[in-house]
């Protein structure tokens, strides 16, 4: 599917305008702060941007650097010209992909295959077997809990020690404890986040449409999402592609923080003392601006003390892989450095709100040398909070 050069330039032109890329004065702060560039001296967000602006779009097709960006938006926070690298990267990838360029999918492309399989309309998944009798859920109602790909990740990433399903179970228990019986969609599709950031807009839209149709059918007025990527995608990208949504999208920690402060959610007394530090997922933090809600939840837990890493909140470091693509030795270096930083705070556990942070950092921690050195646990905020329910 070759695009005419004119279309290509037009599409890039739109993204360049929207992202303010022309305002770049090549100060190089983006490259200076980039977690990938710190280890991979062949990668530079600045030079990628400059090449896109110069109209070298077609020459980017064979450039592996197009796919090296984690899209963590750390560069955005430093850019004195206020450039939005996220918009630019997304557009460049979509264009490059249509011209035949491709990133290297991690895990043999298993995640991408799963999500593309989910575009099939005839598919009838069997994805709710993790729900047990102790959880209250229903078939239709005004609050939907959007589970995300947790059931699949649970199988695929068993070795990393991550359990996204425990997080989903924790989330449902917490919702129940706060008096909410959520609707779970039996045939929910992947939100399409990874495909979108891999540049595969077409398949992203197929997934989004199916999810939107199911959500509307369920009668949802409010959709609670625990996965930050799903949250960012539902809240930002779905409306950008399909117009205003007929429901509100909120993140689990936003809901929990409010429920705690409103007195609807209470935790039990005698629990084991623990010191934790919090990993800001890039989608939740820099993409969506939610830094306080997860901290409010953690601080409300009995026996839990929160300590901060030097690089937290807007300065938080990404877990090293974005969109299950281009996991390299540099990713491992980013992860190891991040885990050491977490340990240096004196914490026993690293708490995160994102299944992918848990998977990627868990993968780095499955190196016995590193796990022996650090003795750190990684735990999802929903699992930690649910373990302190009265």
Compute the distance between CA of residue 162 and CA of residue 168 in angstroms, rounded to an integer.
Answer: 12
The answer to whether 122 contacts other proteins (rule: CB under 8 A) is yes
Rounded to a whole number of angstroms, the minimum distance from the CB of residue 107 to other proteins is 6
178-217 mask for other proteins (x: CB under 8 A)? -----------------------x---xx--xx-xx--x-
For residue 326, the 8-state DSSP code is -
Q: What Å distances lie between residue 117 and 113, 120, 125, 257, CA to CA?
A: 6, 6, 11, 36
Q: Which is nearer to other proteins, 108 or 368 (CB)?
A: 108
Among 53, 110, 271, 288, binds other proteins (CB under 8 A): 110
Burial class (CB in 10 A: 0-12, 13-18, 19+), 122: exposed
Nearest Cα to Cα of residue 118 among 243, 205, 182, 199: 205
Let me know how long the chain is: 390
Compute the distance between CA of residue 180 and CA of residue 172 in angstroms, rounded to an integer.
Answer: 9
Would you state the structure tokens that stand for residue 95, as one six-digit string? 């264009």
The answer to whether 319 contacts other proteins (rule: CB under 8 A) is no
Residues 22-41 interacting with other proteins (rule: CB under 8 A) = none
Compute the distance between CA of residue 146 and CA of residue 190 in angstroms, rounded to an integer.
Answer: 10
Residues 44-73 interacting with other proteins (rule: CB under 8 A) = 64, 67-68
| Number of shown-chain residues binding other proteins (CB under 8 A) | 47
Compute the distance between CA of residue 22 and CA of residue 6 in angstroms, rounded to an integer.
Answer: 19
Strand order in the sheet with 143-146: 143-146, 222-225, 248-251
Q: Which is nearer to other proteins, 112 or 387 (CB)?
A: 112
The answer to whether 104 contacts other proteins (rule: CB under 8 A) is yes
Rounded to a whole number of angstroms, the minimum distance from the CB of residue 363 to other proteins is 11
The answer to whether 158 contacts other proteins (rule: CB under 8 A) is yes
Among 156, 339, 357, 385, binds other proteins (CB under 8 A): 156
Rounded to a whole number of angstroms, the minimum distance from the CB of residue 202 to other proteins is 8
Placement of tokens 């790909």 in the chain: 149
The answer to whether 313 contacts other proteins (rule: CB under 8 A) is no
Would you state the structure tokens that stand for residue 366, as one six-digit string? 């499955």
- 171 neighbors 137 (Cβ within 8 angstroms): no
231-270 mask for other proteins (x: CB under 8 A)? ---------xxxx--x------------------------
Q: Which residues bind other proteins (CB under 8 A)?
A: 64, 67-68, 102-105, 107-110, 113-114, 116-127, 151-152, 155-156, 158, 201, 205-206, 209-210, 212-213, 216, 240-243, 246, 326-329
């Amino acid at each position: 599917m070759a695009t005419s050069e004119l279309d290509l330039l037009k599409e890039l032109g739109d993204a360049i305008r929207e992202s303010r890329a022309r305002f770049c004065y090549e100060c190089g702060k983006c490259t200076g702060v980039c977690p990938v560039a710190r280890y991979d001296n062949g990668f530079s967000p600045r030079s990628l941007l400059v090449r896109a602006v110069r109209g070298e779009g077609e020459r980017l097709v064979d450039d592996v650097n197009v796919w090296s960006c984690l899209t963590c938006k750390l560069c955005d926070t430093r850019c004195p010209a206020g450039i939005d690298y996220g918009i630019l990267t997304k557009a460049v990838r979509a264009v490059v992909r249509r011209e035949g360029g491709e990133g290297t999918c991690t895990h043999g492309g298993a995640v991408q295959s799963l999500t593309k399989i989910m575009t099939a309309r005839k598919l009838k998944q069997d994805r709710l077997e993790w729900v047990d009798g102790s959880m209250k859920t229903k078939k239709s109602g005004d609050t939907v809990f959007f589970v995300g790909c947790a059931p699949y990740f649970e199988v695929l990433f068993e070795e990393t020690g991550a359990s996204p399903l425990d997080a989903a179970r924790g989330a449902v228990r917490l919702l129940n404890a706060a008096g909410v019986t959520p609707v779970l969609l039996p045939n929910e599709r992947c939100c399409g986040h990874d495909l979108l950031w891999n540049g595969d807009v077409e398949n992203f839209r197929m997934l989004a449409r199916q999810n939107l149709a199911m959500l509307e059918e369920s009668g949802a007025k409010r959709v609670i999402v625990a996965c930050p990527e799903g949250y960012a995608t539902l809240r930002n990208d779905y409306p950008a592609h399909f117009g205003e949504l007929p429901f509100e999208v909120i993140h689990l920690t936003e809901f929990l923080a409010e429920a705690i402060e409103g007195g609807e959610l209470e935790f039990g007394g005698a629990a084991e003392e623990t010191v934790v530090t919090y990993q800001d997922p890039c989608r939740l933090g820099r993409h969506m601006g939610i830094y306080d809600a997860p901290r409010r939840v953690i601080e409300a837990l009995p026996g839990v003390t929160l300590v901060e890493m030097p690089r937290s909140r807007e300065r938080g470091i990404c877990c090293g892989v974005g969109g299950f693509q281009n996991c390299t030795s540099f990713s491992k270096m980013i992860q190891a450095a991040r885990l050491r930083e977490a340990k240096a705070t004196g914490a026993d556990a690293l708490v995160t709100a994102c299944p992918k942070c848990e998977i990627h950092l868990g993968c780095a921690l499955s190196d016995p040398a590193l796990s022996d050195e650090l003795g750190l646990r990684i735990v999802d905020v929903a699992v930690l909070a649910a373990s302190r329910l009265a």
